[in-house]
Structure 1
Amino acid sequence: MISQKQLLLRKVKSIVGVGAGGVLAFGGIGLWTGNEKFFKQFVSPVLDRIDPEFSHRAAVSMARFGFIRAACDGDSPNLQIKIANMQLSNPVGLAAGFDKSAECVRGMAKIGLGWVEIGSVTPRPQEGNPKPRIFRLPEDNAVINRYGFNNDGKEIVRKRLQEFKQRDPNYTVGVNLGANKDSPDRIKDYCEGVEAFSDTADYFVINISSPNTPNLRDLQKSESLPELLQRVINTRNAQERNVPIFLKVAPDLKDEDIRSISKTVLKKESRVDGLIVSNTTISRNGLASNLKDQIGGLSGKPLEKTSTELVGKFYKEIQGQIPIIGVGGVWSGEDAYNKICAGASAVQMYTALVYNGPGVVTRIKKELSDLLKENGFQSVQQAVGSSHRRTDA
């Protein structure tokens, strides 16, 4: 009879492959120790030389099978935050895109993230766009991807999430919903996602801001967004659980788009429970890499200033009536702090993990906690939107 350990080893061997075994073993040490300095100096340069999608799959597999050491320290009390009735031990979460099909929620929770967001999940499984479709830009601390909502589909993902929730019912997991590329009714796809995960998700994200599904961003327009949100909200209200709904917007918005979206999400019939600001960008301003012209969405450090400014603009429009989660270029506690002061109640990260490894989460939380204390804030909530209050004064 084959033991559980033997089965695990077989799975790992099948993932590693003959030619990359040494690379993954070396990378696994960095992931396992959680040592950020080790990861940046030794692992990241190696990963720069192999296929980025292979690296991504390897990281997901390592997290899935427990090859990541758990963060030792608990969270500082001043990092606790409540968002849309969700109590979080800290405001640093994992953005959608890393764990697309709920394969490694437990592993990512171990590294100290306040919560994990999976997806984007579509009703039907889909392969996504042709490969290659992800590119590392180390000169810019950035990544360009054009994955195209590749995932295992709602049925398989739902089962995985249910299994996780049975063991860890109190850990917060959001489900980022997308539409199938060939769907004749994309709004219906989002409604199907709400129905499928209404008994397991802690919150939903309506992702209409990915640049990698043709014409998806058209749903952000004033003539489309109200119908989308009304149908999604009506579907949510028909379920037994009243799960919060967040809308994820693109960074490539004009001021009139920001005003229009803000008005829509605050109306009674289309009111959401929060905004996620923002997705990847199609802008390439200031990049040094020779891969900068690859088609897809750009994430990472170049997005930090743009996304923080966008958080501030949305915060001014909605006047704190619904919470904002800030995403884009969170590389340090200062980056997280700036987004919070601009109006975000919490932040999400992804690309910083690619370049710095899981140890970056602990560092960011410590730096953020220290900055809150240094600036006289006893909690994250006290700091939310504080830069606007100082400006107004």
Structure 2
Amino acid sequence: MSASLHTSFLHSSYDNPFMNASGVHCMTTKELEELSESKAGGFITKSATTLQRDGNPEPRYFSVPLGSINSMGLPNAGFEYYMSYVLDYQEKNPNLNPPFFSVAGMSVEENLKLLRRIQDSEFYGVTELNLSCPNVPGKPQVAYDFELTKEILTKVFEFFKKPLGVKLPPYFDFAHFNIMTDILNQFPLCYVNCINSIGNGLYIDSENESVVIRPKDGFGGIGGDYVKPTALANVRAFYTRLNPNIKIIGTGGIRSGQDAFEHLLCGATMLQVGTELYKEGPSIFDRLECELKDIMNKKGYATIDEFRGKLKGL
């Protein structure tokens, strides 16, 4: 019997756990439609701000041998563009799961305003609040400011009653895992997404003795193979600490079925693909599905639930 990748997530059923990572192949309705027609189990919109944003000057993304570096600057088509798409998708596909809807306001007030608009809308899917973005110049990104994170979530859940997850940056210290877990466990979150890119890396073109992206003097977020060990650590750390009702989406360094298997073994329920999707396009989901099934068949696993979260210690 061939292994099944069927995944239950927030009372919905998905053919497999694979999704795009917000920011990759989801800027336009054309790209979103290509995701909906691919083998991805689900998909998510580009993180939206209230108004359309052009983002940072190019070049702002650069593929490197083991991954990528980027400083995109939140380019997106604006909240109403994506809201119109997801509502239209719901109407045309009432028997399918709607896309996840990602928002990333440029301030606390903007995030609250966007979430109020979602709460008041007919959208019945899952919303992702990106807390891995800087909101105030000179301040760290929101999720590295623990007091601000708690303040935002307190304000959000005073009015937001629909399914909500949060996108988190990577953490590197057990104390930070513990502090953030204590905060997250106080709220009716559906999931946490671990991780966004590792911030402020630097890649050098030694031939030209220069950086490879224009914004921020070449500093940018690192993705791909470079970040997989950090992503796995964050998935595992939060899986073993969070309330079991809060699921984990694993993101970071997934380019093969083996990578997907490791994220699931650490406790992830859904999986998002970023850098490798950018490089290969939506056909990657066919390959990942086949590779993960092959691994499960060789190990004798009929379902993902048989091994999810069951990472062994030594």
- Partner Cα distance (2:235, 2:224) in 1: 16
Native 8 Å contact 2:201 2:220 kept in 1: no
Tell me how far 1:189 sits from its aligned partner.
3.8
Q: In the alignment, what sits opposite 1:258?
A: 177
Tell me how far 1:223 sits from its aligned partner.
0.9
Native 8 Å contact 2:143 2:168 kept in 1: no
Native 8 Å contact 1:211 1:280 kept in 2: no
Q: In the alignment, what sits opposite 2:48?
A: 121
Native 8 Å contact 1:210 1:217 kept in 2: yes
SS at 2:250's partner residue?
A: strand
Q: In the alignment, what sits opposite 1:90?
A: 16
Unpaired segments of 5 or more residues in structure 2?
Answer: none
Distance 1:186 1:257, change over 3 A: farther
Native 8 Å contact 2:163 2:190 kept in 1: yes
Q: Determine if the alignment matches structure 1 residue 276 to structure 2 residue 276.
A: no
Native 8 Å contact 2:61 2:72 kept in 1: yes
Native 8 Å contact 1:326 1:346 kept in 2: yes
- Partner Cα distance (1:102, 1:189) in 2: 23
- Partner Cα distance (2:135, 2:150) in 1: 22
Q: In the alignment, what sits opposite 1:205?
A: 128
What is the aligned residue count? 302
SS at 1:116's partner residue?
A: coil
- Partner Cα distance (1:188, 1:133) in 2: 28
Deviations 1:307-349 (A, max 9, x none): 0111111111126342101001100000000000011012110
The one-letter code of the counterpart of 1:163 is: D
Q: In the alignment, what sits opposite 1:188?
A: 112
Tell me how far 1:184 sits from its aligned partner.
7.1
Native 8 Å contact 1:324 1:344 kept in 2: yes
Tell me how far 1:371 sits from its aligned partner.
1.8
- Partner Cα distance (2:280, 2:104) in 1: 28
Question: Structure 2 length normalisation: TM-score?
Answer: 0.86
SS at 1:135's partner residue?
A: strand
- Partner Cα distance (1:258, 1:301) in 2: 22
Distance 1:321 1:171, change over 3 A: closer
Q: Determine if the alignment matches structure 1 residue 178 to structure 2 residue 95.
A: no
Q: In the alignment, what sits opposite 2:79?
A: 154
Aligned ranges for residues 329-368 of structure 1 at < 5 Å? 329-368=253-292
Aligned ranges for residues 133-144 of structure 1 at < 5 Å? 133-137=60-64, 139-140=65-66, 142-144=67-69
Q: In the alignment, what sits opposite 1:46?
A: none
Structure that is richer in helix per residue: 1
Distance 1:265 1:95, change over 3 A: same
Q: In the alignment, what sits opposite 1:217?
A: 141
Native 8 Å contact 1:210 1:297 kept in 2: no
SS at 1:120's partner residue?
A: coil
SS at 1:299's partner residue?
A: strand
The one-letter code of the counterpart of 1:338 is: E
SS at 1:158's partner residue?
A: helix
Native 8 Å contact 2:3 2:297 kept in 1: no
Q: If you compute each CA radius of gyration, which structure gives the higher value, 1 or 2?
A: 1
Q: In the alignment, what sits opposite 1:382?
A: 306
SS at 1:304's partner residue?
A: helix
Distance 1:283 1:254, change over 3 A: farther
Deviations 1:247-269 (A, max 9, x none): 111014432221111111111xx
SS at 2:47's partner residue?
A: strand
Deviations 1:119-144 (A, max 9, x none): 2011222222233322222x22x222
- Partner Cα distance (2:127, 2:243) in 1: 22
Aligned ranges for residues 7-156 of structure 1 at < 5 Å? 78-98=4-24, 99-137=26-64, 139-140=65-66, 142-156=67-81
The one-letter code of the counterpart of 2:91 is: Q
Q: Determine if the alignment matches structure 1 residue 249 to structure 2 residue 249.
A: no
Question: Structure 1 length normalisation: TM-score?
Answer: 0.70
Distance 1:212 1:97, change over 3 A: farther
SS at 1:275's partner residue?
A: strand
Q: In the alignment, what sits opposite 1:167?
A: 92
Distance 1:278 1:102, change over 3 A: farther
- Partner Cα distance (1:172, 1:370) in 2: 29
- Partner Cα distance (2:108, 2:278) in 1: 35
- Partner Cα distance (2:281, 2:80) in 1: 31
Q: In the alignment, what sits opposite 1:49?
A: none
Structure that is richer in strand per residue: 2
- Partner Cα distance (1:357, 1:124) in 2: 27
Deviations 1:9-29 (A, max 9, x none): xxxxxxxxxxxxxxxxxxxxx
Unpaired segments of 5 or more residues in structure 1?
Answer: 1-75, 238-242
Native 8 Å contact 1:176 1:205 kept in 2: yes
Native 8 Å contact 2:3 2:296 kept in 1: no
- Partner Cα distance (2:99, 2:249) in 1: 14
Native 8 Å contact 1:325 1:344 kept in 2: yes
Identity between Structure 1 and Structure 2 (%)? 23
SS at 1:79's partner residue?
A: coil
